[in-house]
Amino acid sequence: MWFPSALEAIVRQFAEIDEFRIELYQERGMDALRIVLEPRPGVGDGIADRVRDTIHRDVGVRCATKLVAPGSLPRFDMKARRLVRAVRA
């Protein structure tokens, strides 16, 4: 079993990430997980793979990762708002 706080603890290990969002969605009739990452300006694409691999290694959960432009995610006051059910993959 994974918990959003465990995912947050992993993402927060990466100083290159300013903000993130956890998305749950359906893919081929099954629940799937994606972590949307907002990197600091100038950070390369490789950070998404590093976060994904660390989540898999530390929690045992496979997930997709997606980078978005710096400043594009809303800032969250509470953990619960970082977890959303996405309409589509």
Number of domains in the chain: 1
Which residue would you say has higher pLDDT here, 24 or 80? 24
Contact by Cβ (8 Å): 14, 53: no
- Domain membership of residue 60 as a residue range: 4-85
Where is 33: in which H helix or E strand? strand 30-39
Q: How far apart are CA 50 and CA 47, in angstroms?
A: 5
Could you tell me the pTM of the whole model?
0.83
Phi, psi of 54 (to 5 degrees): -70, -40
pLDDT, tens digit (0-9, with 9 covering 90-100), for 53-63: 999 999 999 99
Condensed to tens digits (0 to 9), the pLDDT of residues 5-28 reads: 899 999 999 999 999 999 988 888
- The CATH number linked to 9 is 3.30.300.30
pLDDT surpasses 60 at 89 = no
- Rounded to an integer, what distance in angstroms lies between the CA atom of residue 64 and that of residue 62? 7
